[in-house]
Amino acid sequence: MTNFNQRVLIAGAGPVGLVAANVLADAGIPVSVFEAETALPQTLRASTFQPSTLDLLSRFGVSRRLIEMGLVAPRMQYRDRKGWMAEFDFGILSDVTHHPYRVQCEQYKLNGLLAERLRKFSHANITFGARIKAVSQDSEQVKVSFSGPGGEGSATGAWLVGADGGRSKVRDEIGVSLGGFTWPERFLVASTPFDFPAVIPDLCEVSYFADPEQWFFLLRVSGLWRVMMPIGAEDTEADVLSDGYIQQRLHRVFDKAGDYEIIHRTIYAVHQRVANSYRNGRVFLAGDAAHLNNPLGGMGMNGGVHDAFTLADQLVAVLKGTADETTLDSYEQRRRPVALDYVNTITIANKRNLETRDPIEQRAWREEMTRISGDKQLAKEYLLKVSMISSLRGAAIAA
């Protein structure tokens, strides 16, 4: 049934590469994942799983595990410091999703579950410490060359999925560039066990605070609150990551007595960029390799996981002979507009609405959110959008 020519190569053992690998392995397709790091990275990055993504991941039985390891967030809020609040309850989506809530859980926990699941397949493997350096292809196959602590190597397959993140080497190798822009400010994320609900009334697990001086975003994960704030282009990384700076910024969120306990701190550049093409011949791009967006809305990793399911399902159909290769043309047609129009539009609007200093814009957005959250039908349409159910429906893949 399976032979060498059917092998799919995957660059990167992030959530996107590992989802694609699991879809292929489940279908009996031989798959080889190459990961530059010597073990699965444990860095604190995305932590929001949207309802649409939980529906897809339940195919692997991992949504239940994410719920056990994480925290169910049935509501989200937009607020300001003067007491205005618009709240949305994902329960309104219970007729369209098996998961009418977000789950807050660190993405490295998903990676651990997916890698563990892959181990049960003899036709799937992950090679750690294998950084892809070069990609070449002809009409029949694609070849990757890699190097790492174990030396140099190469592998050949029928198709290659470039899921090697924002600085994708695969993307460079196939001559695809990223269009778009990078915001001048970066984002700081600090995690603290401080009990914010004890001092901020009616706080729910996902709360966006609009403020012209310092917007911020409070997101709860197990045992911790993650606080996300913008930092100026002029601030150096060393300053921003210093205790003094973070304490000062957290005290602007809530001015408590004494210092905050800080468990993690991360600073990162924020982009709105989409690859000019998602495919060159036998090579595809997915996840951060194909698109980058600001994290206000929790769409980056989720959109990447949606890419992975779409592409891997198509590769399975082609490799099993139930669809011809022209099917693969629709991957870019389905997924690139989602990144370009849908995710970019929503995440850029989220940022602008939280930060605007214009009183007319502030009032208009607050009134709009109050109106939408107060109307059941409008609230449902809004949540279908922000939970990425409508983009998945538009891209027409089965949940």
Ligand X SMILES: Cc1cc2nc3c(=O)[nH]c(=O)nc-3n(C[C@H](O)[C@H](O)[C@H](O)COP(=O)(O)OP(=O)(O)OC[C@H]3O[C@@H](n4cnc5c(N)ncnc54)[C@H](O)[C@@H]3O)c2cc1C
Span from 21-29, 30-38, 119-127, 254-262 in contact with ligand X (CB under 6 A): 30-38
Task: Confirm if 334 and 310 have CB atoms less than 8 A apart.
Answer: yes
Nearer to ligand X, 128 or 196 (CB): 128
Question: Contact letters (x/-) for ligand X, 157-176, by CB under 6 A?
Answer: ------xxx---x-------
* Cα distance between residue 271 and residue 292, in whole Å: 6
Run of H or E including 162: strand 159-162
Instruction: Lay out the site mask for ligand X across 301-330 (x = CB under 6 A, - = otherwise).
Output: x--x--------------------------
- Residues 230 to 269 in contact with ligand X, rule: CB under 6 A: 266, 268
Q: How far is the CB of 68 from ligand X (least distance, A)?
A: 21
Q: By CB under 6 A, tell whether 16 contacts ligand X.
A: yes
CA–CA gap between residue 279 and residue 285 (Å, rounded): 6
CA distance 100 to 91: 5
Q: Which string of x and - marks every residue 202-231 that binds ligand X (by CB under 6 A)? A: ------------------------------
Binding range to ligand X, per CB under 6 A, among 9-17, 153-161, 195-203, 253-261: 9-17
Which of 8, 11, 285, 328 contacts ligand X by CB under 6 A? 11
Q: Does 300 bind ligand X (CB under 6 A)?
A: yes
Long-range contacts of 349-353 (CB under 8 A, 24+ apart): 350/208, 350/294, 350/296, 350/297, 351/183, 351/294, 351/296, 353/78, 353/210
Nearest distance in Å: CB 133, ligand X: 7
Least distance CB 298 / ligand X (angstroms): 5
Q: Which of residues 91-150 bind ligand X (CB under 6 A)?
A: 107, 131-132
What would the two tokens of residue 88 be? Answer: 């949305």
Query: Is the separation of the CB atoms in 166 and 271 below 8 Å?
Result: yes
Q: Give me the numbers of helices (H) and strands (E) for the chain, helices first please.
A: 13, 20
Tokens matching residue 289: 């390799």
Extract long-range pairs of 238-241: CB within 8 Å, 24+ residues apart. Answer: 240/186, 240/188, 240/267, 241/265, 241/267
Considering beta carbons, is residue 100 or 295 the nearer one to ligand X?
A: 295
CB contact at 8 A, 271 and 180: yes
DSSP H helices, 209-299, are: 237-240, 243-253
Residue 287's alpha-carbon distances to 134, 172, 234, 262, 342, in angstroms, are 20, 15, 30, 30, 15
C-beta of 285 vs 366, nearer to ligand X? 285
CB of 130 to ligand X, least distance (A): 6
Single out the segment in contact with ligand X by CB under 6 A; choices: 87-95, 233-241, 283-291, 327-335: 283-291
Q: Which two tokens stand for residue 208?
A: 């966006």
Binding-residue pattern over the window 37 to 76 for ligand X, x denoting contact by CB under 6 A: x---x---xx-x----------------------------
Which range binds ligand X by CB under 6 A, 5-13, 54-62, 229-237, 352-360?
A: 5-13
Smaller CB distance to ligand X: residue 29 or 46? Answer: 46
Number of Cβ atoms within 10 Å of the Cβ of 67 = 16
Q: In what order do the strands lie in the sheet with 206-210?
A: 85-89, 75-80, 206-210, 216-221, 224-231, 178-192, 264-275, 291-292
Q: How far is the CB of 135 from ligand X (least distance, A)?
A: 10
Q: Rank residues 191 and 366 by Cβ distance to ligand X and give the closer one.
A: 191
Q: How many residues of this chain interact with ligand X, rule: CB under 6 A? A: 33
Selected from 6, 23, 29, 34, the binder of ligand X by CB under 6 A is 34
Binding site for ligand X (CB under 6 A): 11-17, 34-37, 41, 45-46, 48, 107, 131-132, 163-165, 169, 189, 266, 268, 287-289, 295, 298, 300-301, 304
